Amino acid sequence: MMIYRKVVEFETRGENDFINITDTIEGIIRESGITNGIVNIFVPGSTAAVTTFEYEPGLKTDIAQALARIAPDDIEYEHHKRWGDDNGRSHVKAAIVGPSLTIPIENGRLLCGTWQQIVFLELDTRPRRRRLIVTVMGE
């Protein structure tokens, strides 16, 4: 069994910047030389998330709106009182979507559905510099 880890860094434009990272992940898998196993993608940070969906403009808006119904912009968050922060909703959305994702790899390919892309969700209220930890495990 081999383990290959890579840290990817990039800038985001702030809230609801949803970035298709599928090509980046496929590139890391190729570079790893691992053809059968799994890849784990983890975002260290409590106001961003990773998930999969069909990456098209309609769904990007639908997902942003669905998350805004769960954690609206215009309600009170205890987090703001505690830290003088303005991103209570970002923390709530990130906790619900989750910080990591694991996908099986077979014969060098991700076993994703045809319309299933890997997407990084920036949920914070301001642009951020982000790191993603990508771990490929297998043989």
Q: Which parts of this chain interact with Zn ion (CB under 5 A)?
A: 85, 87
Least spacing, CB of residue 15 vs Zn ion, in Å: 13
Tell me the pairing of strands 17-20 and 100-106.
Answer: unpaired
CB neighbours of 63 closer than 8 A, spacing ≥ 6? Answer: 18, 53, 121
| Residue whose CB is less far from Zn ion, 83 or 115 | 83
d(CA 136, CA 39): 4
CB closest to Zn ion, residue no: 85
Is the Cβ of residue 12 or residue 87 nearer to Zn ion in the bound state? 87
Closer Cβ to Zn ion, 87 or 117, answer by number: 87
Q: How far is the CB of 123 from Zn ion (least distance, A)?
A: 11
Cβ 100 to Zn ion, closest distance in Å?
20
Smallest gap from Cβ 6 to Zn ion, in A, equals 28
Closest CA to 39 of 56, 25, 27: 25
Q: Which is nearer to Zn ion, 33 or 44 (CB)?
A: 44
Q: Give, in degrees to the nearest 5, the angle at Cα 86 between 82 and 89.
A: 95
